[in-house]
Amino acid sequence: MISLALHTIHNNLNKHLKEVLQLQKETVVMHTLSEGKNNSLDANNLAFTVVNIEVENNRTTNSPYLKQSGGIIKQYPPINLNVYILISSCFKTEQYLEGLHWLSEAISFFQNKPVFDSRNTPDLSPEIEKLTMELVNVDIQQQGHFWAALSSKYMPSVIYKMKQVSITENKMKAILPMIQKAIPNLIKK
Q: What is the pLDDT of residues 49-67, one digit of tens each?
A: 999 999 887 655 566 666 6
How many domains is the chain built from? 1
Domain assignment present for residue 45? The answer is yes
Nearest to 82 by CA among 137, 133, 138, 29: 133
**pTM check: above 0.85:** no
Domain assignment present for residue 69? The answer is no
For 35, the enclosing helix (H) or strand (E) is none
Q: Is residue 176 pLDDT above 60, yes or no? A: no
% the chain with pLDDT above 90: 47
Least confident of 25-34, 69-78, 97-106, 127-136: 69-78
Give exposure, 1-27, as e/b (b: 16+ Cβ within 10 Å): beeebbebbbebbbebbeeeeeeeeeb
What is the distance between the terminal CA atoms of the chain, rounded to a whole angstrom?
A: 54
Residue 173, SS3?
Answer: coil
Q: Determine whether 70 is exposed, middle or buried from the number of CB atoms within 10 Å of its CB (0-12, 13-18, 19+).
A: exposed
pLDDT at res. 151: 85
Domain assignment present for residue 189? The answer is no
Rounded Cα–Cα distance for residues 11 and 25 (Å):
12
Domain assignment present for residue 131? The answer is yes
Domain assignment present for residue 86? The answer is yes
Domain assignment present for residue 88? The answer is yes
Range of the domain at 166: 2-58+79-170
Position 47 confidence tier, pLDDT thresholds 50, 70, 90: very high
For the stretch 122-167, pLDDT in tens is 998 888 889 999 999 999 999 988 888 888 888 999 999 999 777 6
Domain assignment present for residue 18? The answer is yes
Rounded Cα–Cα distance for residues 23 and 42 (Å):
15
Domain assignment present for residue 26? The answer is yes
